[in-house]
Amino acid sequence: MENVIKEKRAIKGWTQDDLAELVDVSRQTIISIEKGRYNPSLLLAYRLAKLFDCTIEELFNFEEEA
């Protein structure tokens, strides 16, 4: 699943460690989400969206593959 976490994080000037601490996950989790290798739980997606002051849909592209 594609996302814009890395871009939003860069705008805020946060490191992956900073973001991980803010949403209470490991830096490895943030790395995996940014690379599209890990789909976050709904709770984590909500925390990220709230932190970036946007909707979950603005952070993640949920287009289904046919």
| Domain residue spans of the chain | 4-58
> pLDDT value at position 65?
58
Of residues 7, 1, 17, 2, the one with CA closest to residue 52: 7
pTM summary value: 0.90
What secondary structure letter does DSSP report for 3?
E
| pLDDT for residue 51 | 97
Spatial neighbors of 7 by CB under 8 A, at least 6 apart, are none
Average pLDDT, consecutive stretches of 10 residues, N- to C-terminus, the chain (66 residues): 96 98 98 96 97 96 70
Q: What pLDDT was estimated at residue 1?
A: 85
Could you confirm whether domain 4-58 is CATH 1.10.3720.10? no
pLDDT for res 66: 54
CB 45 within 8 A of CB 20: no
